[in-house]
Chain A
């Protein structure tokens, strides 16, 4: 069989029968070509979307949850409902100590403030933050550094600003580091500038100042705006959220079943939804692609069946000249497999072009919707193997049809 596959005559026969019917062969291949094109195109786009989601979420620890205080909805221990709940640093510390599975807990504060520099000004969200924030919500610093422990200890008046804020407050190409800006009439020294993320989880964060400085200038005392909790990878973030809330309710004398006392946003849960959506999309892609592929292969089988009917006489002549039924079948199967593979390869190549096109159209820049749309070699290989198997199976039908006719009847055919 292997000798047969590497025999020049085998391929001569295949090429002869194709060159005889170029149009038909090409039409035959369209089905499979289209199928594999869809498969590659869809899989690549799905991958591109996945990449873009990953990039969006990339700067966040995805197993994290934000918790903030709202107002109670149930009376408890003598307190009436509708009481404002606010979180404190003590709460944060207790949660960090007592809830299992927490990797980081970052207390945060925020306020809006007008910021002035020389003749330029703007309204920005000012955050009071610990250096830890950088671990949980990675800042891409363009210049300088993020807040450090020294800044916290000494209540330093330093600020890390976003690129957007920079654009509003500084001239083009001006170096912001070391410059002073006025927040609430207090001078702050700019120590860092970060790239704006693609997604803003939580309130807008244009500027970060040391937590302790924030406490001081806004007279916040022990209060915090919200806390950001990151779970260890092996722990379920939903469980951590529940445990933390229960503990917080206990600490703040809130009814354990009060659902509104604390607001929260669970990034892990949201991320799971997106991941689920992506998995669903990939499944759909495979399903559609393979179904189209099968339809295409069936089209090849169908056309080969017609071809065999057309070639009945030729097959009869070949058999009169001494071709065994096996030789005839083998030839037809090889033709079927060859057609599928050639069509498949064209599909893979054109699919690749489509991905290149998608990348050129949607894949450029920071806010690209499809990032690095691509298909792995493994997938291409699997698709090819499937093609060969399907091609062989589908080729068997016309092959048996061809030899089921007795040579005498085949020769009589006009």
Chain B
């Protein structure tokens, strides 16, 4: 599903350059749930951004679902992001003047769907995250956990092949974190491929595979026994 080969990325800082990713090799199969771990500066966010087509690698191969991702124009990248990827952010990134329903419907808007169809689909996904009753509420009227659920519903709305989560529980308390994780696990059970960046061990252990990065290289890549989050809820 996802193939990365010898991925390099460096950032220019003044006159010198910072080599952030130093040859990453990573294969992710469909239905996997992978946690990317590492201390800050290890390159885990950069890797996620490249996979999310928000950033481009300097060299190396990146193939998503048989499709080589290379030399994308902004427009093409936007279309691919819309079609293949769902994003979940640490700070939710909901648009604060739009209701929950409108937020969820946004990727569908950019897909060019008709208004009615968008509303229906968005409502369905809001229902899935258990927030159908909160459809008309603005983000500021929702709790952190609810906001993240709306964000997840939004990520799912366009029915992406791959769900990318950047510290999805980073801004939540433990109980809410497990709540969200239980939900993400459930999505994975249904067959969604999920890739998440985290620095919390307990969250990582709720995935099926942990990839550890240090100084731009993969230190460790192991399958783990998934800890189910439901038991803590």
* B54 and A322 contact, CB distance less than 8 A: no
CA distance A324 to B75 in the complex (A): 5
What 0/1 pattern do residues 378 to 406 of A give for CB contact below 8 A with B? 00000000000000000000000001001
Q: Which of A9, A318, A323, A408 contacts B49 (CB 8 A)?
A: A408
Residue of B nearest to A8 (CB): B115
Given A327-B110, A408-B55, A411-B89, are A322 and B97 also a contact pair (CB < 8 Å)?
Answer: no
Interface window among A12-20, A47-55, A253-261: A12-20
Residue of B nearest to A322 (CB): B82
Q: Which of A19, A316, A406 contacts B97 (CB 8 A)?
A: A19
**A317 on the B face (CB < 8 A):** yes
Given A322-B83, A322-B158, are A16 and B98 also a contact pair (CB < 8 Å)?
Answer: yes
What 0/1 pattern do residues 31 to 50 of A give for CB contact below 8 A with B? 00000000000000000000
Given A403-B74, A408-B49, A408-B55, are A322 and B79 also a contact pair (CB < 8 Å)?
Answer: yes
Given A320-B81, A322-B78, A326-B75, are A9 and B95 also a contact pair (CB < 8 Å)?
Answer: no
**A313 on the B face (CB < 8 A):** yes
Q: Which of B55, B96, B111, B154 contacts A406 (CB 8 A)?
A: B55
Contact residues in A for B168 (Cβ distance below 8 Å): none
* A321 and B154 contact, CB distance less than 8 A: yes
B165 smallest CB distance to A (angstroms): 13
Contact residues in A for B111 (Cβ distance below 8 Å): 322
**B106 on the A face (CB < 8 A):** yes
Residue of A nearest to B154 (CB): A321
Size band of the interface chain A makes with B: 20 to 34
Given A9-B109, A320-B54, A321-B87, are A411 and B97 also a contact pair (CB < 8 Å)?
Answer: no
* B93 and A317 contact, CB distance less than 8 A: yes
**A301 on the B face (CB < 8 A):** no
Given A322-B110, A322-B111, are A407 and B82 also a contact pair (CB < 8 Å)?
Answer: no
CA distance A16 to B82 in the complex (A): 22
What 0/1 pattern do residues 80 to 93 of B give for CB contact below 8 A with A? 01110001010001
B145-161 interface with A by 8 A CB criterion: 154, 158
| Most A Cβ at <10 Å: residue of B75, B87, B109 | B109
**A208 on the B face (CB < 8 A):** no
B159 smallest CB distance to A (angstroms): 12
* B49 and A321 contact, CB distance less than 8 A: no
Residue of B nearest to A313 (CB): B93
Contact residues in A for B93 (Cβ distance below 8 Å): 313, 316-317, 320, 411
* B54 and A408 contact, CB distance less than 8 A: yes
* B78 and A324 contact, CB distance less than 8 A: yes
Contact residues in B for A316 (Cβ distance below 8 Å): 93
Residue of B nearest to A311 (CB): B95
CA distance A411 to B54 in the complex (A): 9
Contact residues in B for A326 (Cβ distance below 8 Å): 75
* A325 and B107 contact, CB distance less than 8 A: no
A106 smallest CB distance to B (angstroms): 77
**B52 on the A face (CB < 8 A):** yes
Q: Which of B79, B81, B97, B115 contacts A16 (CB 8 A)?
A: B97
Q: Jot down 5 A-B pairs with beta carbons below 8 A, ordered by A.
A: A313-B93, A319-B78, A321-B81, A321-B82, A326-B75
Interface residue ranges, B against A (CB under 8 Å): 49, 52, 54-55, 74-75, 78-79, 81-83, 87, 89, 93, 95-98, 102, 106-107, 109-111, 115, 154, 158
Given contacts A321-B154, A325-B74, 13 further A-B contacts (CB under 8 A): A8-B115, A317-B89, A317-B93, A317-B95, A320-B52, A321-B87, A322-B110, A324-B78, A324-B110, A406-B54, A407-B54, A408-B54, A411-B89
The 8 closest A-B pairs by CB, nearest first: A322-B82, A20-B97, A408-B54, A322-B110, A324-B78, A321-B107, A317-B93, A324-B75
